[in-house]
């Protein structure tokens, strides 16, 4: 009988995988898409999903292994060098863009669809936006989504299906007496009262300066301008990739209007709002992602 030490000598000792290598190996086993390892010291890789199921698996593995799940392609994205991170880039497998019906003004859009395609399709809110961005990156970009305070309806965003940090799928859309759809989801049902409470406190008033909104997350969507309708999907406008992963969106071409201010000059904190905005931002993020699955700061501002 051959001893275990003799076998080890003949075949060589198997080197133990690092936690990062174990994470990547498990991801590659389940992913239909492509995984690229950047071989960084802290651990960094990119996943181009072949199917939404890849993102579900990635989220679960990120939670288990303590890896940040970050949306790839956001302008001015934070580097996230200090801890292991998986960048997820929605590509051609997630790029559908089509009307909901022959004469329907609403469009079903997946996260990998390019902004240039949406502009060519005739959706006015994407006029003069960077055409190379995916709609997921555009939605996360605070400059591209810096609508006037209370004016988020101009985005034309009607619905959003979002994968939250705990694996819950949240269908966010219009909310009011005639539309209680978000209450079908227990996770969102628990968040709604607290979100409205945050939007109503005096601190939120301090974030409205010169007609603009100064928080990282659009709580002003819960206090729309006169005649507007509350829409929970608008909370994701300019969210920096910090609140969840967008599975699909619905845009209404009738409601969309382009932002007239130049793209590169719009977004920025207004003097005197930092403290109030910081507290409000942390409270909103804690409701969406209490365990820090997504980046704490997805953009460098």
Mean pLDDT in residue range 1-28: 75
The number of residues in the chain equals 301
**In which band, very low, low, confident or very high, does the pLDDT at 217 lie, cut at 50, 70 and 90?**
very high
- Residue 257's pLDDT is 86
d(CA 230, CA 224): 6
Closest CA to 154 of 253, 261, 264, 226: 253
More confident residue, 48 or 206: 48
Grouping H, G, I as helix, E, B as strand and the rest as coil, residue 128 is: coil
CB 106 within 8 A of CB 86: no
Place of tokens 């030490």: 5
Closest CA to 169 of 181, 154, 157, 185: 185
DSSP string, 242-281: -S-EEEEEEEETTT-----S-GGGS--PPTT-HHHHHHHH
Place of tokens 């939120």: 204
H/E segment holding residue 62: helix 52-65
Grouping H, G, I as helix, E, B as strand and the rest as coil, residue 69 is: strand
pLDDT of residue 1 exceeding 60, the answer is no
**In which band, very low, low, confident or very high, does the pLDDT at 277 lie, cut at 50, 70 and 90?**
confident
Read off the pTM.
Answer: 0.90
**In which band, very low, low, confident or very high, does the pLDDT at 187 lie, cut at 50, 70 and 90?**
confident
pLDDT of residue 82 exceeding 70, the answer is yes
More confident residue, 232 or 213: 232
All domains of the chain in start order, with CATH: 4-88 (3.30.43), 92-288 (3.30.465.10)
pLDDT of residue 126 exceeding 70, the answer is yes
- Residue 143's pLDDT is 87
pLDDT of residue 29 exceeding 80, the answer is yes
């Amino acid at each position: 009988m051959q001893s275990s030490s003799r076998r080890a000598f003949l075949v060589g000792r198997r080197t133990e995988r690092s936690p990062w290598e174990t994470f990547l190996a498990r991801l590659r086993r389940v992913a239909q898409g492509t995984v690229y390892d950047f071989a960084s010291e802290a651990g960094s890789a990119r996943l181009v999903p072949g199917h939404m199921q890849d993102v579900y698996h990635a989220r679960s593995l990120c939670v288990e292994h303590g890896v940040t799940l970050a949306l790839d392609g956001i302008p001015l994205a934070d580097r996230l060098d200090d801890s292991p991170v998986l960048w997820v880039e929605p590509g051609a497998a997630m790029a559908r863009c089509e009307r909901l019906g022959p004469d329907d003004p609403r469009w079903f859009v997946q996260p990998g669809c390019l902004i240039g395609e949406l502009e060519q399709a005739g959706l006015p809110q994407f006029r003069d936006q960077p055409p190379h961005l995916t709609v997921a990156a555009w939605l996360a970009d605070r400059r591209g989504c810096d609508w006037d305070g209370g004016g988020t309806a101009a985005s034309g965003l009607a619905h959003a299906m979002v994968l939250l940090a705990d694996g819950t799928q949240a269908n966010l859309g219009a909310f009011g007496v005639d539309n209680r759809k978000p209450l079908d989801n227990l996770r969102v049902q628990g968040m709604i009262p607290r979100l409205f409470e945050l939007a109503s406190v005096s601190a939120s008033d301090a974030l409205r300066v010169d007609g603009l909104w100064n928080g990282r997350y659009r709580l002003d969507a819960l206090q729309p301008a006169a005649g507007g309708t509350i829409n929970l999907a608008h909370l994701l406008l300019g969210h920096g990739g910090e609140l969840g992963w967008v599975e699909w969106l619905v845009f209404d071409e009738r409601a969309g209007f382009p932002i007239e201010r130049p793209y590169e000059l719009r977004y920025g904190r207004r003097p005197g709002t930092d403290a109030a905005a910081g507290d409000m931002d942390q409270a909103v993020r804690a409701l969406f992602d209490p365990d820090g699955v997504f980046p704490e700061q997805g953009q460098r501002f």
